[in-house]
Amino acid sequence: MTQVVRIDPDRPDPTDIARAADCLRAGGLVAFPTETVYGLGVHAQDRDAVRRLFAAKGRPAHDPLIVHIAALSQLADLVVAVPDAARTLMSRFWPGPLTLVMRRSEAVPDEVTAGLETVAVRVPSHPVARALLEAVRLPIAAPSANLFSRPSPTRAAHVLADLDGRIDIVLDGGPAWVGLESTVLDLSHDPPTLLRPGAVSAEDLRQFIRTVRFPAEGSIPGTGNAAMASPGLLQKHYAPCARLTLYRGNQASLRDALARGAREALARGERVGVLATSGDADAVRGLPVVLAELGSGDTKEVAARLYFALRALDEQRVDIILACDLPADEGLGRAVRDRLRRAATEVVEVD
């Protein structure tokens, strides 16, 4: 049985937090909200608990976990050295949605790092996550609280849809704020490499460190640096159940392509979902499609709704999802485009 505990996202009840902390200490699996998405936490140094976590998610053992801590003082134990760049970035961006990869110490089990010589660490800023980490005072390994390859959960209901009965507790603190997973920056090599774009953008990072390297876009396992540096950056990772066609190109042609794609899929007898900002969605109004709108086009709003919308379309049992790419390729827009690309089964370039 999974216990669902409603919790005030701003002022979490200490009794509920203490119960969740006890559960973690005892090797239990606790899902909790962070500012990015919901995480599924376990005591990072309890190897059996970590194995149970992989089993609950159906996650392959070669995909390493992020270790969450309450404060910088817990970092020294986990890494062999803290690079200067890390200190600078931590003082600016922690607590917050930035994960840093550093050379790991012996204190981090292989089960957590998937045998890598590095460990990914972050200090989340969500009050529930912070309260829990402060109460438990242990390093907590926490991947997103979804079944492997499903979109990350941005609400407790998403966690339950995937993991009800497989985990001990869900702290339901309402919607996660950002809606996309943290930025992952690898500091174990020079220059630092952005392994996963997120709310802390490359532009933000460049204000504090001179160079940030990007792995080639769309690298797939075994063919690109990104895949080798971070096994979790599998091409197909943030996927809905339905196949997803992503249209890329100039805005006006995108809408035409979307409308044409929708008509063709409907003509094939398919149940069609459309994932679009309200402007792009105008192209398919009047057609019998299931529409999941991403808001007016404001990037923050799109990010916050993206996974919710993908899951909503799956619940509607659509056969195919048609989506338009975003124009913005900087800041959080880069992260949204990255997730859309990874969710896509097919990318159609239009001009």
**Secondary structure (DSSP) of 232-273:** T--SS-S--SSEEEEEEE-HHHHHHHHHHHHHHHHHTT--EE
Task: Kindly give, in sequence order, each residue whose CB lies less than 8 Å from that of residue 28, ignoring residues fewer than 6 positions away.
Answer: 42, 49, 168, 169
- In the complex, least distance from residue 191 CB atom to ligand TXA, rounded to whole angstroms: 15
- Which residue in the set 182, 219, 245, 277 belongs to the binding site for ligand TXA (CB under 6 A)? 182
Of 23, 30, 96, 118, the one binding ligand TXA (CB under 6 A) is 118
State both tokens at 113: 């790092």
Residue closer to ligand TXA by CB (options 112, 302) is: 112
Name the minimum Å distance from CB 327 to Mg ion: 26
Figure out which of the listed residues 30, 56, 120, 276 binds ligand TXA, where binding follows CB under 6 A: 120
- Report how far residue 92's alpha carbon sits from residue 75's, in angstroms, rounded to the nearest whole number: 16
185 near ligand TXA, judged by CB under 6 A:
no
Which amino acid would we find at residue 241? C
- Which long-range contacts (C-beta less than 8 Å, at least 24 apart) are formed by 202-209? 202/330, 202/334, 203/330, 203/331, 204/93, 204/331, 205/89, 208/85, 208/88, 208/89, 208/92, 209/85, 209/88, 209/89
Residue 63 makes contact with ligand TXA by CB under 6 A: yes
Nearer to ligand TXA, 112 or 294 (CB): 112
Of 12, 28, 127, 143, the one binding ligand TXA by CB under 6 A? 143
Closest contact distance (angstroms) between CB of 246 and Mg ion is 20
Nearer to ligand TXA, 24 or 233 (CB): 233
CB atoms within 10 A of CB 9: 16
Nearer to ligand TXA among residue 198 and residue 273 (C-beta):
198
Angle between helices 127-136 and 14-25 (to 10 degrees): 50
In this chain, which of 130, 150, 155, 196 binds ligand TXA, going by CB under 6 A? Answer: 196
Element (H, E) at 324: strand 320-324
Site for Mg ion in 132-161 (CB under 5 A): 144
To ligand TXA, the closest distance from the beta carbon of 102 in angstroms equals 8
- Segment 37 to 56, residues that bind ligand TXA, using CB under 6 A: 37, 39
| Nearer to ligand TXA (CB atom), residue 98 or residue 259 | 98
66 part of the interface to ligand TXA, by CB under 6 A? yes
What is the rounded CA–CA span in Å between residue 350 and residue 252?
A: 10
Closer of 125 and 253 to ligand TXA (Cβ)? 125
Q: How far is the CB of 329 from ligand TXA (least distance, A)?
A: 21
Based on CB atoms, which residue is closest to Mg ion, 144 or 230?
144
Nearer Cβ to Mg ion, position 34 or 144? 144
Residue 343 sits at φ, ψ, to 5 deg, of -80, -20
Please state, as a whole number, how many other Cβ atoms lie within 10 Å of the Cβ of residue 179. Answer: 26
Helix/strand number for the chain, H first, E second:
12, 15
CA 199 to chain centre: 11
Residue 279 corresponds to which tokens in the numbers above?
């402007």
Residue 186, strand partner residues: 101, 193
One character per residue 221-240, x = contact with ligand TXA (rule: CB under 6 A): --------xxxxx-------
Query: Which residues form the interface with Mg ion (CB under 5 A)?
Result: 144
Query: Which residues form the interface with ligand TXA (CB under 6 A)?
Result: 34, 36-37, 39, 63-66, 97, 99, 101, 113, 116, 118-120, 122, 124, 142-144, 181-182, 184, 186, 195-196, 229-233
